[in-house]
Structure 1
């Protein structure tokens, strides 16, 4: 839902946007595109996005850097302000007592999904010789996403001179920040990026759903009609996400991700000893071979479907 909402919110900056009609149109188009892919077709669409999305990601970083360089004289004062407020004890205790810290935790979860338990669905499909390899990649991705990309976005917006407001909540704030350097092309670029990112994110989440449904069905994919019904519900949820209010979209995301985290973190804690054993096995092998090979029995794991 939130993915669908964020996409349609990028159209607010255009003159043709009508709050009563446009969200329905965008939601319907996005839902239709996803439906084409999951109901037995659209392979060409997926193939194109696989090529274009990484390019768009690089272009976004480049665009952010251009904006930063264009406002380079303001960056030191922005960084100083951020550090000052971060270590301002009055602000710290106010944030702890109020909602600032809660917002930070919620947006951090949405940013990189660390601890939520959704990303392992994708990680588990990686073809590696040792699970620790993929684990290290996943750890690195959190830093790239949050410390680099999110920080670049934040500093870009703060240094643009555009003051945040309720009207500019979400994507429109980033669009206006880019517009200070790229003019009318700035909002268009963000919209194009969001279309690609949203579409691929939704397809990825549907892959998670298929895996989860198969697991709940004793590790077997349910019948065709059952899966079609589930996919139809997903398509309707995508459409609904485009037309609900922003507060509702974020609230639903916060609640659902919070519940996932509360379930996942205890599981991570219970698995920590196994993770440490696997890491030690990887480090020992890494001293002698370039690509360590994992065998479950080497750390006394039994009854697995793989790594035997």
Structure 2
């Protein structure tokens, strides 16, 4: 019975075809059904979303990726470093435990949950600390998927500008794509390409953090789907897919992206909200409030 309800909810997701609706229908499903840990949407996690992002890569060519990212890479690097160290300083000012401040700063600067999960074992973060940071970022990402497209429309941003803004200002890759996809397919392509520039910073973050804390080198746990995303771009460039193939790839990508966002929504738990204390949430909000207009200024005026 639970799988029938799940299928009906997902059919509604596909009918609406909106990223924000996908994640919130997932939340409604979770609140009504309360699926246990063995349920399919909880066991597959973000896998459908990662598949959708990889397929999206197959609709992008290397010349396009270069034209989009060439002017932004130095600024993305400066943006990442500025966000990360600002978060650490704010955490110290607010008196937040250094591990939680580090997790939130890494998530805000680079790629949300992926960055936090990667550095958590290195800084010896406790499960509860990671849970708090993940829940805060989840809430902010959900807000971004809803309100960023509305703000972008109000400010009359072009597809390119909105995609770039989403890539810089939103934490998780999934939410970056979800927000941009709500705006337009072109915005999603721009966002996916530029988000890569932030995500690759996970490599030096892991290496430097591990060296400083443990004084030893460690193999970097770089997200594999990002590597497949790059390979998909190379494949499209090499084979030069025609319009029919590209249209099919876009449909497949959107299907998996919607499924992934819906599955993320089904992982919502009310009890996790109760574990959030005020100061970490204040840190995340202040940092995000600083990042959003900074990213907008960078996109619009540089």
TM-score band (shorter)?
A: 0.3 to 0.5
- Higher helix residue share: 2
With structure 2 as the length reference, what TM-score do the two structures score? Answer: 0.33
- The structure whose Rg is larger is 1
With structure 1 as the length reference, what TM-score do the two structures score? Answer: 0.32
